[in-house]
Every structure is written in C-alpha cells, then in structure tokens.
Amino acid sequence: MPRDVASRAAKERCDAGYGVGSTGLAVFLDFNDAIKRLGKEVVEQKYGNLFQMYQKITDENPYETPMMIYPAVHYTMGGLWVDYELQTTIPGLFAAGEANFSDHGANRLGASALMQGLADGYFVLPYTLQNYLSDQITVGHIPTDTPEFDEAEQAVRQREQRLMDIHGTKTVDHFHKALGHIMWEYVGMSRNEESLTKAQALIDELENEFWKDVKVPGDIETFNPEMEKALRLADYFELAHLIAADALHRKESCGGHFRTESQTDDGETKRDDEHFMYVAAWQYQGHNQPETLHKEELNYEHIKIATRNYKN
C-alpha cells in the first residue's frame, strides 16, 4: 500500500492505545512472511542497508525480530520559484536545496531532499552564482544610511527588545515543542474541520502565552542563539496559522494533504477537482489579520488528470 496510508494506520493504532515499546509510539513491521516467501537474500538485497542501521541503533536483528516503526513529521512542502540558475524573482537572491520548488513532489522523501541539497550545492550554484556576480564587480559600496535600512533595523531592534523585556519563565524550546505537538496532532498527516478549528484556537492561545512568558537569556548586543530561536519561532506561529487556515479552506484530500472527510473506502485521498484545481497563494496582511487568497489555476495541456492507484 502507499506509505501515507500505512503511516496514517500506524499512528491511528498508537493513538488508540495499541502501540508497542516503552513509549507506545511504535508499531511492529514484521518481515517474517516476506522472508519465507521471497527468501532472506531477496529481502537483504532490497533492505539490507536499512536493516543494518536499525540493528546498530536497537541491537535487534530485524530478520528475526519485527522492527518498531513510527511515522515521522513530513516537511512543509512547496518552496520559492527559481529559474534554471536557482535565482528567485529578486535579483541576487538564490534559493538552494529544499528552499526552492524545483524538485518538490506532493510528498517528500528524505533521500530526495538530501539529493536536492547536494545537487544544488555541488553541481548548480558553483556554475550559476558566478554568472550573477560577474555583473556585480563594478558595483560600489552599498550604503546603510538610507531611510529603508534605518526602518528595517529599527523594526528588528524593537522586536528583539520586546522579547528581552518579557522576562518569562519558559524557554523558547518549550514553546517550540508545544507548537510542534499541536501541528502534529491536529494539522498533521490526518486532519478534519474539527481538528483544524481546534488547532487554530490552540495556536492563538500558545502564541499569546509565548509573548507573555518566554524567557530569552543573554542580551541583544552579542551573538545570542536563544534570541535567534525566539525570532524564528515568532515566524513559525505565523506559518502555523497560515497552514491551518489553508488546510481548513481546502475541503478535499490531495497529495500530502489528507482530510478524513474526503477519502475513499480504501483510505485513499479523494480529490475535488471541480472546486480546488488551483494553487492557493496567500498574501500576508499583517499580524492577526486574515490573509488574502490568490488563486493560480492549474491548466494541464499534455497530461491526463488521474487518480493514484497502486492496485493496477
């Protein structure tokens, strides 16, 4: 079966209290029947490296003992538009690896993510960045005393000072973990209108607590990793709001987006091409303001739209 169907089934069993291991956050993956049917050599040829890594980590032989597995968090899929030189629509701003859209699919495998980073870093950017830089050799010193620079610097300093002045009791990591738990449980691999609505309320509640009770040690005049994490987490709250709102808006299942209200009898995704054959591009309108939806219609000229089917 498709791995997303299997992953949802694994999480459902664990959520229902049937998980194995000390944490209960695992299910058994038993290769016994496959070994009997195909032979150990065939299984080893397909999964030998994976089995070796598992045995090194757990000290258990998966040829003899079922493996314990649990689905991992999937990536935020998408990325910036880039041209063939990996340059964005902003001259001089390049997006490499998973930051660009070029090799993203509806689902994202860890191996393909790694390979895109390697390919962009080793084989593309060394031959494309120089094309941009060759035109910049005569560009003089860029001034930092412009009104735009002053405005941007002042905004960052005010944001940093606001965080330093909270003097709360909980670490940035505490809030980061709590936000991740909300997204995993209510906006994760399976979601529905009820869970997404609950997620929006929980995100609001956690964000309000963050701005009242986060503790950022150190100061803003020296290198401060905790401040860096706090600023990034503040952005994560904005992103979490958008992901939940977009998922609630799209009343269908498609690719990595699975709504439990929209599935086949076999647990497969059920699309609604009549109403959602578009990319939803959301325009930021400011904190706590609803984003503006821009629809980019999907027009297929050379391929036939089909439903995924692993049974044929």
Say if residues 166 and 216 touch (Cβ distance below 8 Å).
yes
- What DSSP string describes 264-278? -TTS-B---HHHH-E
Both tokens assigned to 268: 């497969």
Tens of pLDDT, residues 26-69: 999 999 999 999 999 999 999 889 999 999 999 999 999 999 99
pLDDT at 106: 44
Tens of pLDDT, residues 151-178: 999 999 999 999 999 999 999 999 999 9
Cα separation of 246 and 170, whole Å?
30
Q: What is the pTM of this model?
A: 0.84
Protein fold of 166-297: Methane Monooxygenase Hydroxylase; Chain G, domain 1 (1.20.58)
pLDDT at 103: 64
Return the C-alpha torsion angle 309, 310, 311, 312, nearest 10.
Answer: 70
Q: Where in the chain is the domain with CATH 1.20.58.100?
A: 166-297
Cα separation of 216 and 95, whole Å?
30
The mean pLDDT value for 93-120 works out to: 75
Query: CATH number of 3-69: 3.90.700, 3.40.50, 3.20.20, 3.10.290?
Result: 3.90.700
- What DSSP string describes 153-199? HHHHHHHHHHHHTT--SB-HHHHHHHHHHHHHHHSSSSB-HHHHHHH
Say if residues 49 and 62 touch (Cβ distance below 8 Å).
no
Confidence of residue 108 (pLDDT cuts 50, 70, 90): low
Sign of the torsion formed by the C-alpha atoms of 203, 184, 233 and 178: positive
Q: Is the pLDDT of residue 107 over 50?
A: no
Q: Where in the chain is the domain with CATH 3.90.700?
A: 3-69
Both tokens assigned to 149: 């620079």
Average pLDDT, the chain: 90
Cα separation of 50 and 114, whole Å?
16
What residues contact 102, with CB distance under 8 A and at least 6 apart?
Answer: 79, 82, 86, 116
| Beta carbons within 10 angstroms of residue 199's beta carbon | 24
Cα separation of 200 and 178, whole Å?
14
